[in-house]
Amino acid sequence: MEAILTALRAAFEAASASDNEAAPAYAKLRDGIDWNATLRATAPASRPVVERWFEAACNGLADGPMAALGRAVLANADNLEWISIYQSYEDDPTLAEFLDNYAILRLVSPGGPLVCENMTAALSLQGPNTFYPPHAHKQEEVYGVLAGTAEWQRGAEPWVTREPEEIFLHTSGIRHATRTAGEPLLSLACWTHDVTLPIVIVTA
Ligand SMILES: [Fe+2]
């Protein structure tokens, strides 16, 4: 886990130094996380989407700080605790396909592995041809693409294609969605405040 956190911190550092709109939020993460905080033990766990697509996604790792993070994660693949999210939506049949094709790997959170009460960082894996429907949350969020090209939408903006190493910002409350085509997507998502509040799927 130390190597993963070192790569995460380096990715934050690079993003903070960019002229991207997400740079200030990445600087908050870099400076707000106690990198010497307790490391909580995790129990290795997988999900079907991880078995099917994690290695394939990692084949798309190129060069750059996000890819370096992906390589550090891949090197520790046997010790990762992948989990599902949106447990409160598990009885919604319209989300079943998405929930089967999406998993996250917490890196920094109140539950660890690096314990932090007010900020989070997690990888997400989204299988090919999967639609992550519009959702919103109070948390300011930054994303970074580790591997895979996919389409993203935020607010009333048109869908845009985002490539590996791209970073971008979701301001507090803005609706956003992601759709993959023929390849899986491995990305980094981080919140800078209010990390215990829920995410809401937006249906209208
Ligand atoms: Fe989000």
Whether the CB-CB separation of 201 and 137 falls below 8 Å is answered with no
Say if residues 89 and 14 touch (Cβ distance below 8 Å): no
- The pLDDT score that the predictor gives to residue 204 is 85
Predicted pLDDT at 91: 87
Mean pLDDT of the region 111-133: 97
Neighbours of 93 (CB within 10 A): 6
Q: How far is the centre of ligand 1, averaged over its atoms, from the C-alpha of 194 (Å)?
A: 13
Identify the pLDDT of residue 88.
Answer: 84
Q: Which sequence spans correspond to the domains of the chain?
A: 2-201
pLDDT for the residue numbered 89? 87
Centre of ligand 1 to C-alpha 142, Å, is: 8
Q: What 3-state class would DSSP assign to 176?
A: strand
pLDDT digits over 138-193, tens only?
999 999 999 999 999 999 999 999 999 999 999 999 999 999 999 999 999 999 99
Q: Residue 182 Cα, ligand 1 centroid: separation in angstroms?
A: 22
Residue 120 has pLDDT above 90, yes or no: yes
* Residues 37-86 pLDDT 10s: 989 999 999 999 999 999 999 999 999 999 999 999 999 999 999 999 98
Q: Is the pLDDT of residue 14 over 90?
A: yes
Tell me yes or no: is domain 2-201 CATH 3.40.50.720: no
Separation of 136 CA from ligand 1 center, angstroms?
A: 6
Q: What is the pLDDT of residue 128?
A: 98
Query: Long-range contacts of range 49-55, CB-CB < 8 Å, 24 or more positions apart?
Result: 49/100, 49/101, 49/102, 49/103, 49/125, 49/126, 49/127, 50/82, 50/103, 50/125, 52/127, 53/125, 53/127, 53/128, 53/184, 54/125, 54/184, 54/186
* pLDDT on residue 101: 97
Give the dihedral sign, CA 33/38/39/43: negative
Q: How far, in Å, from the CA of 199 to the mean position of ligand 1?
A: 7
Ligand 1 centre to CA of 135 (Å) is 7
Q: What is the pTM of this model?
A: 0.96
